[in-house]
Structure 1
């Protein structure tokens, strides 16, 4: 039976900045046009974090029963390690996705934007079918695209729109930046797993591009947010404070550029995720003050 610490590890805490940062940026963009509501922002954050935990447990379950995790060198897996019963992990995934749905429905009821029930349903379905079901799209090389969409535009612009009913240029810029950071985390993860994914028959963007081009893509993705910072800074100079995240991004980029493999790539996920979170905090603060 898995311990409490192992269940917590199964949520993959290092990936949680991917769900927190986009909501912060969306809330900041809402504040910038005087549409910020703390209660609604908190509910949006609960939706995002619960979806992230749900998809992490769902991936643990689905990859575990397929045998994809058998030889991986990455974070601890509940099912792949044999520490937890697959059905228990599946139940945990459904519970987290159910919590996301409950928070989302509450937010929709409070804001009256009822059409967003469909939006939420798509998000929940995407979380499960990433590696779940008979034909998971995460095994068809579409995982990175989904990460960009759901942790970028969906999370940032969803948080902005549900509060204000508007989409702004700064919101779009923030959405692209968050999508780029999240996809970079995904690429780093897939880059580490190229050998085992090929062995397991799992197709990712990294297995399609190969090692060298995947590294180039990672470096390009981690550059994009800072280009956007320059653009936002033309309107809100304080947003240039997001360059505080650059040293963390460089830490990850150096490992990728040097050709590190296997376990040596694990810190890249943390560095990139923290750079994303710091970028979001700095940008959100600038938008709130501005």
Structure 2
């Protein structure tokens, strides 16, 4: 049986509010996007502080917080898009959603939202010890914008800005900050640049998602950046987001000196994969086949994070 037929068969037998239904709603594949900025921030902290100043517990807490917040964001998206009627199975091009398919009831999802939000707060609370009371404000903003993205901001074309901030700048810089001990926590320009590169590359995932859904979004009044700039400009934007991410990280490696400049060659693997995927995206243009491009983009994004992390660690030796 083909893989797609097998998955369809499995989904057709999902029991309401079952464990399998919750796993589908959590969208485990999206956790790679949550891990990439924490990986990069952790590597930068190790490079600048060394083993003697590296604190393992806050690093683990950052990974845990990021994973739970990603699941929370997926639940928010599932619940509120169902309420708005944006996940109609007859017109939806992306993967099926739990609430709209009846796998999870709306009251159960409200409970799930409450639990995951509380768990994220519990996971993030100990970071106060490592980063100070300002961690409360940062955590509160993460939770707030997790809800505002689906309910308001994505309809105004601001989703890409949120990705840059909350999947790039905030998690990379915050991870770096809390891992290092007091006195070594100053955010360097290298860390800030790495966080921007991370946000740009992760935004390619949102771009291709909205590129696939552009006609449905336009119909539903969801004015994403893709809807605003159109098909052709989006294809170029997707390409250049990845190229800029590649250039920034390559520059950071080169700036470490001749000894480490060879690390920039690692990023050519990502560059070639990204360019190839963009070519496929341009050929496909529309329809459910773009889900394959979404999968390739997620793969490329994780490879970018992995290669960047490896390069940073090599430069630390």
TM-score range, shorter chain: over 0.9
Deviates more, 1:212-221 or 1:84-93: 84-93
Q: How much is the aligned-residue C-alpha RMSD, in angstroms?
A: 1.7
Match of 1:237 among 227, 248, 261: 261
Match of 1:10 among 25, 28, 47: 25
Q: Are 1:128 and 2:147 matched, yes or no?
A: yes
Native 8 Å contact 1:181 1:273 kept in 2: no
Deviation at 1:44, TM superposition (A): 0.4
Native 8 Å contact 1:19 1:48 kept in 2: yes
Q: Are 1:222 and 2:247 matched, yes or no?
A: no
Deviates more, 1:214-223 or 1:57-66: 214-223
Q: What is the rounded CA distance, in whole Å, between the counterparts of 2:154 and 2:33 in structure 1? A: 17
Q: Are 1:22 and 2:37 matched, yes or no?
A: yes
Q: What is the rounded CA distance, in whole Å, between the counterparts of 1:11 and 1:247 in structure 2? A: 31
Deviation at 1:194, TM superposition (A): 0.8
Uncovered stretches (5+) of structure 1, i.e. residues with no partner: none
Deviation at 1:16, TM superposition (A): 1.8
Deviation at 1:2, TM superposition (A): 4.3
Q: Are 1:82 and 2:80 matched, yes or no?
A: no
Deviates more, 1:178-187 or 1:279-288: 279-288
Match of 2:150, SS state, is coil
Instruction: Give 2:171's aligned residue.
Output: 155
Q: What is the rounded CA distance, in whole Å, between the counterparts of 2:176 and 2:75 in structure 1? A: 27
Match of 2:299 among 266, 269, 274: 274
Match of 1:68, SS state, is coil
Q: Are 1:284 and 2:299 matched, yes or no?
A: no
Instruction: Give 2:221's aligned residue.
Output: 201
Native 8 Å contact 1:198 1:207 kept in 2: yes
Native 8 Å contact 2:131 2:177 kept in 1: no
Q: What is the rounded CA distance, in whole Å, between the counterparts of 2:114 and 2:206 in structure 1? A: 23
Instruction: Give 1:49's aligned residue.
Output: 67
Closer/same/farther in 2, CA of residues 249 and 3 from structure 1, 3 Å limit: farther
Q: What is the rounded CA distance, in whole Å, between the counterparts of 2:60 and 2:267 in structure 1? A: 23
What's the CA shift string for 1:207-258, capped at 9, x where partnerless?
A: 1112221111111111112111320221133532233323432342122222
> How many residues are aligned here?
286
Deviation at 1:5, TM superposition (A): 3.0
Displaced runs of 4 or more, over 4 A? none
Q: What is the rounded CA distance, in whole Å, between the counterparts of 2:268 and 2:28 in structure 1? A: 24
Deviation at 1:172, TM superposition (A): 1.6
Q: What is the rounded CA distance, in whole Å, between the counterparts of 1:59 and 1:127 in structure 2? A: 9
Q: Are 1:118 and 2:137 matched, yes or no?
A: yes
Q: What is the rounded CA distance, in whole Å, between the counterparts of 1:184 and 1:211 in structure 2? A: 14
Deviates more, 1:244-253 or 1:222-231: 244-253
Native 8 Å contact 1:105 1:117 kept in 2: yes
Instruction: Give 1:212's aligned residue.
Output: 232
Instruction: Give 1:31's aligned residue.
Output: 46
Deviation at 1:138, TM superposition (A): 1.5
Instruction: Give 1:188's aligned residue.
Output: 208
Q: What is the rounded CA distance, in whole Å, between the counterparts of 1:13 and 1:268 in structure 2? A: 18
Q: What is the rounded CA distance, in whole Å, between the counterparts of 1:112 and 1:157 in structure 2? A: 11
Matches within 5 A, 1:249-260: 249-260=274-285
Which one has the largest radius of gyration? Answer: 2
Q: Are 1:171 and 2:186 matched, yes or no?
A: no
